[in-house]
């Protein structure tokens, strides 16, 4: 039951939807689970590789008591050994990427793939990714071409100081979500970082099955990478779409952030199939956001389509009722699950812009009260 449910939930696209041109904009970082995930960094609509600051001079040696607390765990908690290079850039052999891109090109031409670790590890892609790619090709890219390049000069607007950490949905990868993230940074003038989960796209090593634990570690690695770049926690805006709302809520409930935007979120994976469940079953249920959203101490914006036939509108309303730092939600009357960022793109962008300004004013007022 658990194995079948895991295969039903995680549907990474296969093969990777990258091209040789887009692959040059990517770089890889290490995660706590020991894998390397591809990351792309946008600054005002331009993809570039950020320059991490040198923190070697700022590090101080920990006291013996701190070292003891770090490595002494209770005997009933068995945690895997944490990687020492989590959130740091990783070196990738170009031959590994070339092999994955070769599989992608052969599959695009209808050739039969051999029994490779990539084919054994990843599942079949769902129908949502193809339909969303077609809609993006017809709408998002047209709007992106209408935005003047380069964008206007920085004028000190509140939304321009945020850095977005985007978590895409199921049956998608960084290639399909990259156009939308680039559009966000172009219109808002902010920075953004998007990534692939372990087992999705060009994540290495190939053939690793995605899991809930790896989702959390991947999001945490990107968050720590932004902190290493010098981004303050109150300037990090988390955006999670569909199943990406699970690791987004998990990260926001444990670490300080500037704001959370949930697009078509789900209360938990099991509640998508059985919406009448009133409690979380730890052995079978995954991404129980309904049990963690009340722990978020930053403003939360929920966007959901009322005609969603994949994740019902009751999920968005349930999370809204449970959230303590909620703002006015955005319920789209005729929107489904895959056309929120397409047919209602201007409405969503305008609401995110207003929400980012509210988050900036919220933390500014809190700092004044502390002073």
DSSP-based helix, strand, coil % in the chain, nearest 5: 45, 15, 45
> What pairs with residue 195 in β-bridges?
39
Q: State pLDDT tens for residues 37-77.
A: 999 999 888 888 887 665 443 444 445 555 444 444 444 44
Q: Which pLDDT does position 75 carry in this prediction?
A: 41
pLDDT band at residue 99 using 50, 70 and 90 as cut-offs: confident
Strand 300-305 to strand 163-167: parallel, antiparallel, or no bridges (unpaired)? unpaired
pLDDT at 152 over 50: no
CA distance 291 to 354: 27
Active site residues: 242, 308, 337
Q: Which pLDDT does position 241 carry in this prediction?
A: 95
Strand intervals (E) in the chain: 27-30, 36-43, 46-47, 89-90, 163-167, 191-195, 236-241, 259-263, 300-305, 330-332
Structure tokens at 57: 């001079």
Q: Give me the domains of the chain, ranges plus CATH numbers.
A: 2-52+88-370 (3.40.50.1820)
In 10 A of CB 112, how many CB atoms?
6
SS3 258: coil
Q: State pLDDT tens for residues 47-56.
A: 888 876 654 4
Q: State pLDDT tens for residues 295-336.
A: 999 999 999 999 998 899 999 999 999 999 999 999 999 899
pLDDT: is 186 or 100 the higher one?
A: 186
CA distance 254 to 295: 8
Long-range contacts of 134-139 (CB under 8 A, 24+ apart): 135/338, 135/339, 135/342, 136/176, 136/179, 136/180, 136/341, 136/342, 139/342, 139/343, 139/345
Among 79-83, 91-95, 97-101, 335-339, whose mean pLDDT is lowest?
79-83
In 10 A of CB 52, how many CB atoms?
14
pLDDT: is 193 or 102 the higher one?
A: 193
Prediction pTM value: 0.81
Among 133-137, 317-321, 346-350, whose mean pLDDT is lowest?
133-137
Task: Provide the mean pLDDT of the chain.
Answer: 78
pLDDT band at residue 12 using 50, 70 and 90 as cut-offs: confident
Read off the pLDDT of each residue in 337-347 and give the average, rounded to a whole number: 88
CA distance 326 to 303: 12
pLDDT at 136 over 50: no
Print burial letters for 16-42: b (CB count within 10 Å at least 16), e (below 16). bbbeeeebebbbbbbbbbbbbbbbbbb
């Amino acid at each position: 039951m658990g194995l079948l449910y895991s295969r039903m939930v995680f549907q990474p696209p296969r093969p990777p939807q990258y091209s040789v041109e887009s692959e040059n904009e990517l770089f890889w970082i290490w995660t706590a689970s020991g894998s390397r995930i591809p990351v792309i960094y946008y600054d005002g609509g331009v993809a570039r590789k950020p320059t991490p600051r040198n923190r070697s001079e700022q590090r101080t040696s920990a006291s013996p008591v701190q070292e003891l607390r770090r490595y002494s765990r209770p005997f009933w908690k068995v945690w895997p050994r944490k990687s020492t290079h989590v959130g740091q850039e990783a070196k990738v052999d170009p031959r590994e990427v070339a092999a994955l891109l070769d599989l992608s090109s052969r599959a695009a031409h209808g050739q039969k793939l051999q029994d490779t670790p990539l084919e054994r590890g990843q599942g079949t892609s769902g129908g949502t990714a193809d339909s969303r790619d077609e809609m993006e090709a017809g709408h998002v890219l047209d709007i992106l071409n209408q935005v003047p390049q380069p964008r206007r000069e920085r004028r000190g607007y509140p939304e321009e100081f945020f850095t977005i950490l985007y978590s895409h949905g199921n049956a998608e990868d960084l290639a399909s979500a990259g156009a939308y993230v680039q559009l966000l940074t172009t219109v808002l003038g902010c920075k953004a970082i998007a990534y692939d989960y372990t087992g999705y796209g060009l994540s290495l090593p190939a053939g690793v099955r995605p899991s809930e634990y790896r989702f959390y570690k991947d999001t945490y690695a990107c968050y720590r990478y932004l902190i290493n770049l010098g981004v303050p926690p109150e300037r990090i805006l988390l955006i999670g779409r569909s199943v990406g709302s699970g690791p987004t809520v998990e990260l926001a409930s444990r670490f300080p952030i500037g704001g959370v935007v949930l697009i078509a979120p789900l209360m938990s994976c099991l509640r998508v199939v059985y919406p009448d469940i009133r409690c979380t079953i730890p052995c079978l249920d995954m991404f129980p956001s309904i049990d963690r959203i009340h722990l978020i101490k930053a403003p939360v914006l929920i966007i959901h389509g009322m005609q969603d036939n994949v994740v019902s509108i009751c999920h968005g309303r349930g999370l809204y009722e449970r959230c303590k730092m909620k703002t006015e939600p955005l319920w789209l009357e005729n929107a489904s699950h895959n056309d929120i960022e397409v047919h209602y793109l201007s409405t969503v962008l305008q609401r995110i812009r207003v929400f980012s300004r509210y988050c900036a004013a919220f933390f500014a007022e809190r700092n004044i009260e502390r002073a």
